[in-house]
Structure 1
């Protein structure tokens, strides 16, 4: 995301969405009550009562008071009431501004909360792409880690040499896996790769990479997992050996925070979950880190029931706690959804 102008104290921010990840970030920032200003297409009636009217599409700049937002993978739709615009666009009428890649919008808020500023600033940072390869004997899967989860790229099965049978025959499986990995690394301009497997399969692949693609082998981090496929991916994101490699990756941080929450709940430690208990903890100023899924936020907005969640987020922000909006696109978000979509790591235990 590119920041064109910012004055958070005055409540103003002007940005350009550069990719789909930016659209997702903006969907978590823009909320009812904000003013959004941007260029949009509007149908306008031309002519007068004395002549035949015609309807044409015009590109205009409108200022709208936001009522709701709707996010899809390719677009963020911001709907509301027109506050300012050309004379032929009635003030008070409804309109939707469609925010796509390369769209420039100005956002005006009564007050920017810290987590909102952090989310915007985080979106402006260049982040190295990370490819994750999870393999077992004769089977490999590849994923691209993204801020809001991951994109499963592909999986394939290959022929490997079996013990006692054709032991001199070189297996093509690791050759194919290494070539495919090299292709993904180049295609996504990735700076890091995590290779994970049960047993020693990861070492076998790394050995082939060193022979065929030494530049990629130098970027590799090895990890152990008990499962393969998508289930193994969630496991890998929690592994301590990949923590440093994934330190800049938001999805990995979210998975690790949810994992920490689950551990605290398991030992009846400093944690709370569910709307009521989290609200009580936030009211007491006890929340160190608040975790809320984007799915819960979007549902509350759609149901016109966002006030309570917004109040909790503001209380945590006011008490210098961290607010983390967790994507439902990865397993960590799905685990949190199972707890009602909201949970908190506490500074101290709270009696309910």
Structure 2
């Protein structure tokens, strides 16, 4: 995301959407009541007679957000609400949706930008390195790309392997097929690193067959127990990949959830659930808050976002970091199992 202009004193920030990952961030940043200004199209009646034409016009509108939802294919974000400013022929207080997609330039105006919202804005604007993950064994391989909020599975391929009870001639070298796919995806996405992970010694065998020196420079080896989507999370938490994945948001969030679960299991400095987190905030005990994107969205849909917003403001005054955890990865799913909201504490509550 491009941060074109910002003035947090007036509450106005001008942005440009540069990739689809930005939409996930914007869904967390834009709140009901925010004023969104941008170009949009709207059907307008020309003339007052019965034969008046209805045409689509491109115009600039300012809308007070009420609902913030992804489009059907997740390639856009629709901010729907009442029109507050626009051309004279557009009725005030009528409803309109401004669609945000790749390339859209628009402004957000808030009465107050909280610290965590500024942080999310900075995260979206900074360059985040992508990592290509290849998990494989002798029979199958899974390729995935890290995103700012989780993973995108690119492809799963299966190899031809001889069955133990049947004599079978194999015409393809499965590891060569994997190397070809690595070369294609490395060229297409230009990842910062390529993580090869496998059970046993398969990864070492495959690396010996790679002749491309530029490809080899990017490869880092890891371990996985399975070749499936759940193993992607396992690989991201591997200690041998800590230095390689230091800029990975998904890894950072998963380790936070691990720390939370450790504290809960030993009945230490952690709480979870809406009421317990509220009580901890009121006591000033919160060190950091973990809340899922799904929890926030559910409260919006129930018309109860105001109470979440109030809690976030209290925690913001405590100068405690607020982590919005994506449910696209294992960490967020595990946090959802704890109601979707939890906190690490400065001290243990009695």
Query: How far did 1:29 drift?
Result: 0.4
Q: Which runs of 4+ in 1 moved over 6 A?
A: none
- Alpha-carbon distance between aligned partners in 2 of 1:295 and 1:124, rounded to the nearest angstrom: 22
Helix, strand or coil: the match of 1:9?
coil
Helix, strand or coil: the match of 2:18?
coil
Contact 1:238 1:259 in 2 (8 A): no
1:299 alignment partner in structure 2: 298
2:110 alignment partner in structure 1: 109
- Alpha-carbon distance between aligned partners in 1 of 2:303 and 2:188, rounded to the nearest angstrom: 42
Contact 1:160 1:171 in 2 (8 A): no
The 5 Å alignment of 1:308-347 reads: 308-347=307-346
2:176 alignment partner in structure 1: 175
2:31 alignment partner in structure 1: 31
2:10 counterpart of 1:7: no
- Alpha-carbon distance between aligned partners in 2 of 1:61 and 1:245, rounded to the nearest angstrom: 45
Contact 1:161 1:170 in 2 (8 A): no
Query: How far did 1:162 drift?
Result: 9.5
2:147 alignment partner in structure 1: 146
Q: Which of 224-233 and 78-87 deviates more? A: 224-233
1:88 alignment partner in structure 2: 89
- Alpha-carbon distance between aligned partners in 2 of 1:207 and 1:8, rounded to the nearest angstrom: 54
Helix, strand or coil: the match of 2:48?
coil
RMSD of aligned residue pairs (Cα, Å): 2.0
- Alpha-carbon distance between aligned partners in 2 of 1:299 and 1:34, rounded to the nearest angstrom: 19
Aligned residues between the structures: 345
Query: How far did 1:161 drift?
Result: 8.1
Contact 1:139 1:155 in 2 (8 A): yes
- Alpha-carbon distance between aligned partners in 2 of 1:347 and 1:203, rounded to the nearest angstrom: 44
- Alpha-carbon distance between aligned partners in 2 of 1:91 and 1:171, rounded to the nearest angstrom: 66
Query: How far did 1:95 drift?
Result: 0.9
- Alpha-carbon distance between aligned partners in 2 of 1:217 and 1:291, rounded to the nearest angstrom: 38
Contact 2:128 2:148 in 1 (8 A): no
Give 5+ residue unaligned stretches, structure 1: none
Give 5+ residue unaligned stretches, structure 2: none
- Alpha-carbon distance between aligned partners in 2 of 1:216 and 1:29, rounded to the nearest angstrom: 38
- Alpha-carbon distance between aligned partners in 1 of 2:308 and 2:275, rounded to the nearest angstrom: 10
- Alpha-carbon distance between aligned partners in 2 of 1:319 and 1:285, rounded to the nearest angstrom: 7
The 5 Å alignment of 1:189-204 reads: 189-204=190-205
Contact 2:66 2:81 in 1 (8 A): yes
Deviation string 1:285-317 (CA, Å, 9 cap, x unpaired) is: 222221111111111111111122222222222
TM-score scaled to structure 2, two decimals?
A: 0.93
2:227 alignment partner in structure 1: 228
- Alpha-carbon distance between aligned partners in 1 of 2:130 and 2:229, rounded to the nearest angstrom: 18
Contact 2:32 2:66 in 1 (8 A): yes
Helix, strand or coil: the match of 2:103?
coil
